[in-house]
Amino acid sequence: MKVVIQRVSKASVTIDEVKVASISKGLLILLGIINEDTLEDIKWLTNKIVNLRVFNDENDIMNNSLLDVSGDAVVVSQFTLHASTKKGNRPSYIKAAKPDVAVPLYESFVKQLEVDLGKKIQTGQFGADMKVELLNDGPVTIIIDSKNKV
């Protein structure tokens, strides 16, 4: 399971000209899933995300977590995170899980993140053509792969 996390001042997701998610201070989380991902990956990753110290403290040092700042989160499925660009110029997405595997894991990820953060998580819609807008704060962008824990 791979995520790209962006610290944002605001972020939103629009589908067919309808805004389906909108947050202010928090994290935009782009989530990519492969067939080998498990509930263990979800639990490790959501715990890492909510405790990641990427928000500034009173001394302007990144020392606070999403929990510390009572921030929000929006999760967007993104199979393209597992693109392979080794051959040619057209990315291959063969490593990305198909919907029958990815959707239940995506939903479990969102539910676990809600438990870990203690609040409702906004989302895009799995498989939809989404327009994602954000104001990256910092900018701070971090990539985490649950298969690279060590």
CATH number of the domain where residue 28 is located: 3.50.80.10
Q: Is residue 32 part of a domain?
A: yes
80 among known catalytic residues: yes
Residue 72 makes CB contacts below 8 A (sequence gap 6+) with 23, 24, 25, 26, 27, 119, 122
**21: in domain:** yes
Backbone phi, psi, residue 27, to 5°: -125, 135
Quote the percentage of the chain above a pLDDT of 90. 98
Residue 141, CA atoms < 13 Å, CB-side half-sphere: 6
**Which pLDDT score is estimated for 102?**
96
Per DSSP, what are the bridge partners of residue 136? 8
The answer to whether residue 79 is domain-embedded is yes
86, part of any domain? yes
Q: pTM value?
A: 0.95
By residue range, what is the domain housing residue 57?
A: 2-145
Among the options 6, 46, 55, 79, which is catalytic?
79
**Is the model's pLDDT at 138 over the cut of 80?**
yes
The catalytic position among 6, 46, 78, 123 is 78
Is 112 inside any structural domain?
yes
Does residue 150 lie in a domain region?
A: no
- Give the mean pLDDT of 32-58: 97
Q: Specify if 114 maps to a domain.
A: yes
Look at the chain and report how many structural domains it folds into. 1
Residue 11 lies in a domain: yes
| CA 105 to chain centroid | 13
Q: Is the confidence at residue 150, as pLDDT, over 80?
A: no
* Per-residue pLDDT at 149 exceeds 90: no
Model confidence over 3-44: pLDDT tens digits?
Answer: 999 999 999 999 999 999 999 999 999 999 999 999 999 999
- What's the distance, Cα to Cα, between the start and end of the chain in Å? 14
79 catalytic per annotation:
yes
For helices 99-117 and 39-51, give the axis angle rounded to 10 degrees.
40
